[in-house]
Structure 1
């Protein structure tokens, strides 16, 4: 008998349409909110999703920050949420000493050219 099963990373983009003033560059911009998880599929049907984490990319300067997990879960469920600066962790953002993937937010060694978690080119 032949079974087809696999685990792979998956990203989802969520609608967030509020203009914000960026604390990094001081310009108006929008937040692009993404949810990232691991998916187990069986015969190409996704069965389980786990390990949710959320990133916010600022349109004004391109900085990527981690979003508070509880707030991200609420946004994923379709609730109307407001993202404040205190809900963001920009400590891993792409600056000098870059240590975070702009796609999935995973911590990456500075010498890597590709993210070991999602394969995104850095």
Structure 2
């Protein structure tokens, strides 16, 4: 987060939708998955003015692996269009967060709460348990 008086730049991540019946590329199971949108935005008095660097991710509920999907498919899901995510749409990335947000070089998952955390953390910032 970056502040200059009454305006600033922030990263944000929000869950768009939960998908049922997704075949995960990591565990090869038919499972549920969360669609997550990550972006940066400029705000004035905490009112978002414009966004950039939008990326869409899918996290498998079974194995907790994170996959990126195309921006077009992500926007279609966000608009509630009836779109199918296939095995081939999932682009595997390493599993972790960077400052609490999905990045393309992701690598650690907390075994206690299942949240993805930056590789620099020894303890999970969400639940406090040691990240192994």
TM-score above 0.5, yes or no: yes
Structure 1 match to 2:35 = 33
Matches of 1:104 and 1:52 in 2, distance apart? 11
Higher strand share: 2
Q: Which runs of 5+ in 1 are unaligned?
A: 95-99
Tell me the TM-score normalised to structure 1 length. Answer: 0.74
Q: Which runs of 5+ in 2 are unaligned?
A: 109-117
Matches of 1:22 and 1:83 in 2, distance apart? 10
The offset of 1:87, in angstroms, is: 1.0
Alpha carbons 2:25, 2:90 under 8 Å: kept:
no
Structure 1 match to 2:105 = 107
The offset of 1:107, in angstroms, is: 2.1
> 2:74 aligns to what SS in structure 1?
helix
Tell me the TM-score normalised to structure 2 length. Answer: 0.69
Q: How many residues align?
A: 111
Matches of 1:40 and 1:108 in 2, distance apart? 24
Using a 3 Å threshold, how does the CA distance of structure 1 residues 112 and 45 change in structure 2: closer, same or farther?
Answer: same
In the TM superposition, what whole-angstrom CA distance separates every residue of 1:79-117 from its partner, at most 9, and x where no partner exists?
221111111110x233xxxxx538413325899415xxx
Structure 2 match to 1:86 = 88
Q: RMSD in angstroms over aligned alpha carbons?
A: 2.9
